[in-house]
Amino acid sequence: MPGFIFQSVVIAGGYGTGRELAEFFLPFGPSGGILSMMLVSMLFWSLVAAVAFEFARKYQVYDYRTFCRKLLGRGWVLFEVTYFSFLILVLSIIASASGSIFLELFQFSYWIGVVGVMAAIGFLVFAGSRLIEKVLSSWSFILYGTYLIFFFWSLATFGPQISSTLSNTPVQSGWVLGGIKYAAYNVAVIPVLLFSVRHLKTRRETVLAGVLTGPIAIIPGLLLMLIMAGHYPEVAEETVPVNLMLEALGSRNFQILFQLVLFGTLIETGTGMIHGVNERFAETFKEMGKEFPIYARPLIATVLLVVATLMAQFGLRDLIAKGYGTMTWIFLGVFLIPLLTYGLWKLLRED
């Protein structure tokens, strides 16, 4: 379950539309992008998830505030400030992507998509952990099935172009660093999704869940990259690359189905990230011996969603290109390096 929930959250912040993959991986060529994804990003995700899940289990810290206090001491505030900035950025990208989908696919107003995704996120956040876990994990199977249909259909239609591009386009340098950069800001959501790790009772379970997280999260991206190879290089310039690839198949019905599934993943991402914030405040109230007010969950969600919606006007492409790159380096300093040095050392020392 933790792997599927992680995948549900990371896939929609740009990855599901293809824009994130075009920004971070296509500059190395389709083959270089695949190497970057599979040999760097996937392994990086598995490593960090395994260490973080075991750290959470061992010290019983299942919200990001207590997790980061245990890992960073007083420095946990740095993570929170950075995470809130990241959260607003991702929610803005979700809003922008939703608006773009409804505008390009249905010719509806951009703001119908924005308001629709935000309303759905607000409903799920209000519903609480159990429904969120069920929805996020179940939707992953729907998403996997849709991506597989998309892949095999594209392979049957554009197989020669895909093969030719992969064979004849050279691998550009920098793909290792590119894979690290892409993976680094995504794993920053792991402390926020630790509510899904409460079920794990042994080190074997946490490590296995962590190892599986990388492949579970990256495989849909691999399928999408292979499809993109059949439309390279023009696909790299599209705001929502999947629209170009879906239109090339010539099936309006499947295009609508895929975009509806993608819309669901946008909802998943926003829900998982905001729910992590609510869990952080709920734990704080618990430490004070108080009950988290029932109205607080929708109130927090509403405030975050309104701010993000206002930022969505900057556009999907600019948000991804300018925002994610900056966040990568900050999260390296305030989360990843401490986790893979001090955090890992602490786990091994106390065995």
In a domain, residue 349? The reply is no
DSSP state at residue 233: T
CA distance 281 to 110: 33
In a domain, residue 276? The reply is yes
In a domain, residue 342? The reply is no
Q: How far is CA 322 from CA 19, 198, 235, 314, 316, in A?
A: 13, 35, 19, 11, 10
- What is the pLDDT, as a whole number, of residue 210? 93
- What is the pLDDT, as a whole number, of residue 313? 62
Domain range holding 180?
Answer: 2-337
Residues 6+ away with beta carbon under 8 Å from 238? 18, 19, 22, 244
- What is the pLDDT, as a whole number, of residue 119? 80
What is the mean pLDDT, run by run of 10 residues, along the chain of 351 residues?
80 71 90 93 94 92 86 84 79 75 74 77 72 72 86 93 91 90 82 83 92 91 92 84 87 85 79 78 81 80 78 57 65 86 87 63
CA distance 106 to 179: 34
In a domain, residue 111? The reply is yes
In a domain, residue 344? The reply is no
- What is the pLDDT, as a whole number, of residue 257? 87
- What is the pLDDT, as a whole number, of residue 128? 64
For residue 271, the domain's CATH number is: 1.20.1740.10
In a domain, residue 346? The reply is no
CA distance 16 to 1: 20
Q: How far is CA 63 from CA 13, 53, 67, 80, 290, in A?
A: 21, 12, 6, 12, 17
In a domain, residue 156? The reply is yes
Give the Cα-Cα-Cα angle 26, 27, 32 (nearest 5 degrees).
65
pTM score, whole prediction: 0.80
Reported as a single tens digit per residue, the pLDDT across 169-206 is 888 989 998 898 888 878 878 887 888 888 888 999 99
* Structural domains in the chain (count): 1
In a domain, residue 351? The reply is no
